[in-house]
Structure 1
Amino acid sequence: MRVLVIGLGSIARKHIAALRNIDPEAEILALRSSIGAPSCDGVRDIYDISAIKGTKIDFAIISTPTSEHLRSLMAARELDCPLFIEKPVHHTLECESVVRELMSSGVLTYVACNLRFLDSIRFIKNAVETRGVAVNEVNVYCGSYLPEWRKDADFRKVYSSVPEMGGGVNIDLIHEIDYLYWIFGIPESVVKVLRNGSSLGIRAVDYANYTMDYGNFCASVVLNYYRRDYKRTLEIVWEDETWLCDLARNMVVRTSDGQVLFRSDDSILDTYEAQLRYFADLVRNNKKESFNTVGDALSVLKICLDDESER
């Protein structure tokens, strides 16, 4: 298997590690922006995509900063190969025409929202589809402390803090909106509050609050960058009882009595290999569509960025 990586940052290195577990003999190439950029062992650097035109590339991984995704998509589509794209598809709707072109071209695309591979989220999705009990309310919360994300860097200067680079919890933590879209589909309407008035003092959105109306119930989503005690939960208020899914612990409990309904020993880190294995299997089997195409990712991005009239 020959794979091109566009963007060789920390997330790309996670994907490369996963790829080597899946296929130790994989040939990995990296499209670099400059000759002086740090290399990665066992990865062959190239500096112009034209250098590999005519070479069979099994798929490309796009893992550049979010603000560079559109440029990377435009470069990668010249190779006419399957595309594994780190989330989100972009940070603005400038990408819409390119997304439409990719969808009409028939190229296999997958936007990497790895929480779809977390066992506890999959347990919840299966329950929603099969349990036969009405959902009355959904509450999602994700709060963590941005200054501790990258302890060797000034948190005010990393992309998460810079709107022009695709920073802000509404984009950076798009996973929560994505898995709601995966489980429940597109909401009928969305009301949102986006702000950056916390003590972090950054320009990017550091607090987001969404109310997503699904007709028979509403889902509330709260995201922030400033919570020191990490919390990542999904609460389902059924007609008959309430379940709490703790993503950090990969478990689901019934809140009335604390009974554990589901538990997995895997962690969120394990989902990176699971999703890449899924995509590699699609490529090997010559599949033409994934369960999170660029079209799906565009729909999720519109929930995060647009008012309801533009969806």
Structure 2
Amino acid sequence: MRAVVVGYGSIGQRHARLLQAMNVETAVVSGRDIDFPIVFHHLKEAVEQFAPNYIIIANKSSEHHSTLLQLIEYHWKGTVLVEKPLYHEEKTLPNDHGLRIFVAYNLRFHPLLLKLRSALKNERLLSITAYAGQYLPTWRLQRDYQLSYSARKEEGGGVLRDLSHELDYLNWLCAGWVRLSALGGQVSSLEITSEDTCGILMEMRECPLVTLQMNYLDRPGRRELLILTDRHTFKIDFSKRLFIQDNHSEVITVDRDETYIAQHTAIMNQQWDRLCSLQEGQDIVRMIDAVERSILNREWVMNE
């Protein structure tokens, strides 16, 4: 197996490090001079000279679509993992693109969510409350937060895209959304152009009431999920690695790299069922667009 990681920011570095640890021959495409054994400055060179089987697109989300189009132009065939979100706005690819594309919603491999999904199989969902927040200046301590893509709406930043894991796992648990209404925007004193807060109210196919709040503001960071069913109350606290069912709680040890390794392993073993497909990734992009339209027009948006 040969893999190419496109982009060498924090997430690109993590993918490259983990693939090397998994004994995958790995190269990086970066426009910068970086300290890595195999580096190409252009994607075409990497495709032609390194001949990868597997490509991870980990550059800015505003560049994901153009990177995929380059792979199609170069007639490369193989498996692609695109960092989330798939695109920063709705885009399409030619029908005959010939790529096997997945989107890196690695929380689908989180032991807490897997345990929850299994526990919900025979449950009737009544309501869900999801929450994710972390103070943006603490995300990447080695870099001024104002210079990150997260701070710049034009580069695909903002909580809707940065924290779209929540949108994906809610769709994954509830079989998609029916309608939604949202409030949000840049409401804090953070010096950014992207939205730092968003609250969404949804009806989903398998749950009549779902609320989600996301922000760049929580100190310390929080990521929690509360689910009520006819028979039980479930709660997940991702930060504390805690799974609660009614009055019983269980701590589940999770290494910070575990979900990423599991995701790469699934791809290399061609175990596609848990991965986020191209279609599912496109659905999240459309959902983000619906949230933004709801905020702008102050209206409910239907999933049509």
- Partners of 2:266 and 2:272 within 8 A in 1: no
Find 1:263's aligned residue among 251, 261, 274.
251
Task: Name 1:5's counterpart in structure 2.
Answer: 5
TM-score by length of 1: 0.87
How far apart are the structure 1 equivalents of 2:171 and 2:52?
A: 31
1:104-253 to 2 correspondence within 5 Å?
104-129=96-121, 132-214=122-204, 216-253=207-244
Secondary structure of the residue aligned to 2:145 is coil
| Residue 300 of structure 1 pairs with residue 284 of structure 2 | yes
In the TM superposition, residue 50 of structure 1 has moved relative to its aligned partner by: 5.0
SS at match of 1:20: helix
Aligned equivalents of 1:252 and 1:58: distance in 2?
Answer: 37
One-letter code of the match for 1:91? H
Q: Is the 8 A contact 1:39 1:45 kept in 2?
A: no
Q: Which amino acid aligns with 1:269?
A: D
Offset at residue 14 of structure 1 (A) = 0.8
CA shift, 1:112, in A, is 0.5
Q: Which amino acid aligns with 1:32?
A: S
Return the alpha-carbon distance in structure 2 between the equivalents of residues 156 and 16 of structure 1: 25
Q: What is the root-mean-square deviation of aligned Cα atoms in Å?
A: 2.2
The amino acid that maps onto 2:107 is L
2: CA distance, partners of 1:310 / 1:238: 24
Alpha carbons 1:28, 1:44 under 8 Å: kept: no
How far does residue 195 in structure 1 lie from its aligned partner after superposition? 1.2
Q: Are the structure 2 counterparts of residues 230 and 80 from structure 1 closer, same or farther at C-alpha, using a change threshold of 3 Å?
A: same
CA 1:161 to 1:20, structure 2 compared with 1: closer, same or farther past 3 Å?
same
Query: Do the aligned partners of residues 52 and 304 (structure 1) sit closer, same or farther apart at CA in structure 2, a change above 3 Å counting?
Result: closer
Q: Tell me if the contact between 1:192 and 1:209 (Cα under 8 Å) persists in the aligned partners.
A: yes
Give the drift of 1:180: 0.7
Please tell me whether the aligned partners of residues 236 and 244 of structure 2 are also in contact (alpha carbons under 8 angstroms): yes
Change (3 A) 1:170 1:288: closer
Q: Distance in 2 between matches of 1:48 and 1:301?
A: 25
Distance 1:105-1:138 versus aligned 2 partners, 3 A rule: same
Moved more, 222-231 or 52-61: 52-61
CA separation in 2, counterparts of 1:280 and 1:75?
23
Aligned partner of residue 229 in structure 1, secondary structure: coil
Q: Which residue of 2 aligns with 1:254?
A: 245
**2:70 counterpart of 1:75:** yes
Partner of 1:27: 25
How far the C-alpha of 1:229 sits from its partner, in A, is: 2.0
Greater alpha carbon shift after TM alignment, 45-54 vs 60-69: 45-54
Task: Say which of 269, 274, 277 aligns to 2:265.
Answer: 277
**d(CA) in 1 for partners of 2:22, 2:138:** 31
TM-score by length of 2: 0.88
**Structure 2: gaps of 5 or more residues:** 294-300
Say which is worse superposed, 222-231 or 150-159, in terms of deviation.
Answer: 150-159
1: CA distance, partners of 2:231 / 2:25: 53
Is the 1:67–1:90 Cα contact (8 Å) retained in structure 2? Answer: yes
Q: 1:115 to 1:268 in 2, by over 3 A?
A: farther
CA displacement at 1:49 relative to structure 2? 0.3
1:190–1:303 contact (8 Å) kept in structure 2? no
CA contact (8 A) 1:195 1:208 kept: yes
